[in-house]
Amino acid sequence: MTRLSARGVTAALLSTLLLATVLPARAEGLTVFDWSGYEDPSNHPAYTAKYGSEPDFTFFGDEEEAFQKLRSGFAADLAHPCSQSIPRWREAGLIEPLDTAKLTAWKDIEPGIAAMKNLMTSEDGKAWFLPFEWGNSLVLYRSDTVKPEDIPTLKALTEPKFQGRISIGDNVDDAYALASLAIGLKDWTQMTDAQFQEASDFLRALNKNVRMYWTENTDLSQALASGELDVAWGWNETASSLKASGQPVEMLKDTAVGVSTWVCGYVRLKGATADEAHQYDFLNAISDPAVSKYLVETWGYGHGNAKGMAAVPPDVLKAKGYDNVDGFLKNTLFQQPLPTDLRQKMIAEFEKIKAGY
């Protein structure tokens, strides 16, 4: 001992023991596989309050990347996929059923989400998916260069005036949601072979105008803010954050033109090693109604908890376009789970389209 006396060591040990009696237990070992940004502690404040620390977060860029990494043996405890991926993840044996008796808000899920077929539960009655947030993929535009009347229909995005001024996500689900709406289809689970071809033809025509296929929301935000783009097919979050910073970016929320609604949430991964209590504490924290106002106000997304959404101040809901949730959702294309073979066909075709074929 050169720096501490024996008395000093004893005092340090006593201090550590005393701290352990008053501080909450640390959340050791919980790993969440997520989209970048969702590590925000305000999305799960009850969890942080209970454990005094955050889970470990690792990130994926899109769900195809997440799917392939998990199939290759990547280890985590919870993950954050979206509605259209659930059947595929389940069929691949990547996820475990949920014990709904341990989910405090299971019965408070938004009715429109709970009614989606093959999402929260499978035909055998097992529960697999806890919805967290829902939002929209819709037309974003710079209001200083584009007017709503310039886009009377989604097919207007293929016109020469938008050449090199458009961006859509490098995301097969959002791409085919856009294409489905462009051809007048609002239930993509019923897509015929002829409609698939028509939707793919639209994406090929659109590809001629695409300046960039965005993968990170920050890239899209920067391109819109700089004036590099006039129009994008993107998410509520992008327009909300840009408007808050004073940028002239608006959302085209006209469901007659076309809006797609997606639902994302959390699943338990097969082989999870974290304490089960920590897993369910996190799941209950993200579905706590106290999170609703923050999610709507800051992210521009709806929360999966209907009671929480009902408690959000009406002016906040109206500002984000959620003052009539039921009426709005009835007129959008819900990104419901797709048949696996149809989604695989979309993935293959979208890669060809981006490559110019």
Q: Return the higher-pLDDT residue of 220 and 19.
A: 220
Q: Which residues are CB-neighbours of 294 under 8 A, at least 6 positions away? A: 42, 43
Confidence at residue 331, expressed as pLDDT on a 0 to 100 scale: 77
Q: Decide if 182 contacts 202 (C-beta within 8 A).
A: yes
From the centroid of its chain, how far is CA 355? 26
Confidence at residue 322, expressed as pLDDT on a 0 to 100 scale: 79
The mean pLDDT of 321-331, rounded to a whole number, is 71
Confidence at residue 11, expressed as pLDDT on a 0 to 100 scale: 36
Confidence at residue 89, expressed as pLDDT on a 0 to 100 scale: 94
Quote the pTM value. Answer: 0.78
DSSP-derived 3-state class of residue 158: helix
What tens digit of pLDDT does each residue of 82-113 get? Answer: 988 898 899 999 999 999 999 999 999 988 88
Q: Decide if 204 contacts 227 (C-beta within 8 A).
A: no
From the centroid of its chain, how far is CA 147? 28
Residues 53-86 as b/e (b if ≥16 CB within 10 A, e otherwise) read: ebbbbeebebbbebbebbeeeeebbbbbbbbbbb
Confidence at residue 15, expressed as pLDDT on a 0 to 100 scale: 38
% pLDDT > 70, the chain: 91
What domains does the chain contain, in order, with CATH numbers?
28-132+263-324 (3.40.190.10), 135-261+336-354 (3.40.190.10)
Confidence tier at 118 by pLDDT (50, 70, 90): confident
C-alpha 127/C-alpha 121 separation (Å) is 4
Q: Return the higher-pLDDT residue of 280 and 326.
A: 280
R_g of the chain, CA atoms, integer Å? 22
Confidence tier at 7 by pLDDT (50, 70, 90): very low
DSSP-derived 3-state class of residue 31: strand
Q: Is the pLDDT of residue 214 over 80?
A: yes
Helix and strand element counts for the chain (H, E): 15, 12
Q: Is the pLDDT of residue 276 over 50?
A: yes
Q: Is the pLDDT of residue 330 over 80?
A: no
Phi, psi of 233 (to 5 degrees): -100, 105
Confidence tier at 28 by pLDDT (50, 70, 90): low
